[in-house]
Amino acid sequence: MRSKLLQMLIDHQGHFVSGEAISNHLGCSRTAVWKHIEELRKAGYKLEAAPRKGYRIIHQPNVLTESEIKAGLATRYLGMNVHYDKSVNSTQEIAHRISREGAPEGTIVVADEQVAGKGRLGREWFSPIGTGIWMSMILKPKIPPQQAPQLTLLTAVAVIRGVKAATGIQCDIKWPNDILLNGKKLVGILTEMQADPDQIHSVIIGTGINVNETDFPEEIKEIATSLKIEKEEEINRATVIKRILEHFEELYELFLEEGFLPIKKMWEDHAITVGREITARTTTKTLHGFACGITDDGVLLLKDETGEIHKIYSADIEF
C-alpha cells in the first residue's frame, strides 16, 4: 500500500494528487490515506497538504526501504522481493541464507551498512552507513556452472547503464569486476554460487557502489571514488538501484535466451582493459603483456612478450 501511494506521488512529482484520487487508486478510505501520509512523514518524506488540492511530495529522504525501492520500479520480477536491513555483516551472507531457505529468483538484499562487507578472496569491502549501495541479487539461472562468471560481466554492463540513466554519469569497466569513474574504483562486483558440479542452485551477485561518500579510509583514498565526489551533488540511492535492476533484468533475459554473445558486444563498448599493456595477478602467477580481448565466454586473453596467448579466468589487473 505504501509503495503504491509513494509511486503515485512520485509519478506526479511537484503536482498535487487529490485525497479522493488516492483513495480510489488504493481502494481505501480517506482516513486510511491520511494515516499512510502520516507514516510517510514519519519516515522522513516532506509532503505538502492543501485543502481541496490534496497532497504533493516535496522531498524524498535518501533511504533504501522496500517501498522506496519498489516505487516506480519497472521490472517484472527483479526487486519484487526486497529484503532490507539497516545493518548487516554482509548482504552476500543473507542472500545465501535466504536463497537456501527458498527465496525466489529476483529477490534482492539491501542494507544501509555492512560491518563485514566482502570483496574477492576474503578482502574487505568498505561499506559505511547511509551512503552507498550494498546489494545482493539472488538468481537461479538454468545454465552450466562454468558460465556463471559471465554474469559478472553482464552485471557490469547493467550497472554502467543504470548509473548513466539515473545520474547521466558515464563509467568504464575494468575486467573482470570493477567499474571505474575517472580512473578510480566506483563499483565492485562479487559473484558467488551455490552449485553441484553440473547444476547451479543459485548465483548471488553482490554489488557495492560508492554513491554519497565524501571520504574514504587511508588504504583506499587514492583508488576509490563516489558518484557524489564526481558529480558534486547528493544522489538518490533508490533511484540508482531501480535503474540498475531494470537494465539488469533486460540483459539477463537476453542472456538466458541468446547466451553471452550479445552481452559481450555491449561489454566491449565500455571496457578499458582491452587493447593495452597490462599486468594480471592471478592467485598463482603474475603475467605481463597485451590484453587482446575477451573470448566468447568472457575469459581475458593476454599475449605475453614471446607471443604466447594466455587465458585468464580471474585476476587483479593493473595498467
Asked whether position 264 contacts ligand BT5 by CB under 6 A, the answer is no
What number of other Cβ atoms are within 10 A of residue 77's Cβ? 13
The answer to the question of residue 224 lying near ligand BT5 (CB under 6 A) is: yes
In this chain, which of 65, 136, 167, 239 binds ligand BT5, going by CB under 6 A?
136
| Interatomic CA distance for residues 108 and 245, integer angstroms | 10
Binding segment toward ligand BT5, per CB under 6 A, in 4-12, 23-31, 207-215, 230-238: 207-215
- Based on the shown chain and the rule CB under 6 A, indicate whether residue 210 belongs to the binding site for ligand BT5: yes
Is the CB of 106 or the CB of 206 nearer to ligand BT5? 206
Among 119, 130, 141, 259, binds ligand BT5 (CB under 6 A): 119
> Alpha carbon of 163 to those of 26, 77, 102, 159: distances in Å?
31, 20, 30, 6
Residue 12 within binding range of ligand BT5, rule CB under 6 A: no
Contact present, 150 and 176 (Cβ < 8 Å): no
Is 114 marked within a binding site?
yes
Size of residue set near ligand BT5 by CB under 6 A = 28
How far, in whole angstroms, is CA 78 from its chain's centroid?
11
**Least distance from C-beta 174 to ligand BT5, angstroms?**
10
Phi/psi of residue 71, nearest 5 degrees: -65, 115
Rounded CA separation 269/278 (Å) = 19
Question: Which CB atom, from 219 or from 308, has the smaller least distance to ligand BT5?
Answer: 219
177 binds ligand BT5 (CB under 6 A): yes
User: β-strands 54-59, 46-50: how paired?
Assistant: antiparallel
- As a whole number of angstroms, the distance between CA 157 and CA 41 comes to 36
Tell me if 179 contacts ligand BT5 by CB under 6 A: no
Strand pairing report for 133-139 and 199-209:
antiparallel
Whole-angstrom CA distances from 181 to 19, 53, 184 are: 44, 44, 5
Nearer residue to ligand BT5 within complex by CB, 45 or 252? 252
Q: Is 199 annotated as a binding residue?
A: no
Residue 54: CB minimum distance to ligand BT5, A: 39
User: 79, 206, 289, 298: which one contacts ligand BT5 (CB under 6 A)?
Assistant: 206
> Does 16 engage in binding with ligand BT5 (CB under 6 A)?
no
Total H helices, total E strands in the chain: 9, 14
Min dist CB 132 to ligand BT5, Å, is 7
Across-strand partners of 198?
none
Answer for which of 67, 91, 107, 236 binds ligand BT5 (CB under 6 A) is: 91
Work out which of 3, 60, 65, 92 binds ligand BT5, going by CB under 6 A. 92
> Cα separation of 187 and 180, whole Å?
7
| Contact footprint for ligand BT5 (CB under 6 A) | 90-92, 114, 117-121, 123-127, 134-136, 177, 185, 188-190, 206-208, 210, 220, 224
Binding site members for biotin: 114, 185
